[in-house]
Amino acid sequence: MSAPDGGCALVTGGSRGIGAAIADKLRADGFTVATLSRNGSGSDVQADVADPEQVVRAFEEVRERFGPVVVLVNNAGVREDGLAIRMSADDWERVVDVNLNGAFHCTRRALDDMLKARWGRVINISSVVAERGNPGQANYAAAKAGLLGFTRTLAREMGRKGITVNAVTPGVIETDMTADVADGLKQAVPAGRVGRPEEVAAAVAFLVSEDAAYVNGATLAVDGGLGA
């Protein structure tokens, strides 16, 4: 079964970096795409995904302007790095709230539309640090690892409903968010280079496509071998 007519793809954190590349790729593949970001700059809808009430309002706006959400890419993310022993509760909670809780809030709303359509795709953008760890990123690694468990559980819950749920784990990708990543981590990439947002977008586009209809609960690494 192909995506139902009249449905849209929603990309959170879609105004720049990986999110913008994903939005561009899905548009090129023929999807109606809505983007969401916290500050609203360069995106279609403004909302903080960590706030469930804002998410409810955002989905109402998306449905009115773009149609029901049948593809959801949970890409919104923040970093607040620091050694765990010195990390503040606020820094821990903010990262978990956006990266993990935000994906839950958005997915819960999107599943309403997908269940009605009996077709859907949820793609959670996790990270290589979910599986290998990285000093100074206890909050980020915990949130991104939580996304993988969330992905696998939802895949089992929704598999008979025509809905697939998968994750992508980018490595060091050339974006504003990784501009301050230590050179040592970049040099550790077996591919010998950092990745491009468009390479992550290509992986997402595959998981959304009918070619991936039997791919469910999977984690697709786009990390140049960093997590191998």
Catalytic residue numbers read 140
Q: 165 is written with which tokens? A: 């749920």
- Please give the Cα distance from 69 to 92 (Å, whole number): 30
Residues 6+ apart with CB under 8 A from 21: 196, 197, 198, 200, 201
Give the full edge-to-edge strand order of the sheet including 8-12: 45-46, 32-37, 8-12, 69-74, 120-125, 163-170, 219-222
- Under a CB-based contact definition with an 8 Å cutoff, are residues 95 and 140 in contact? yes
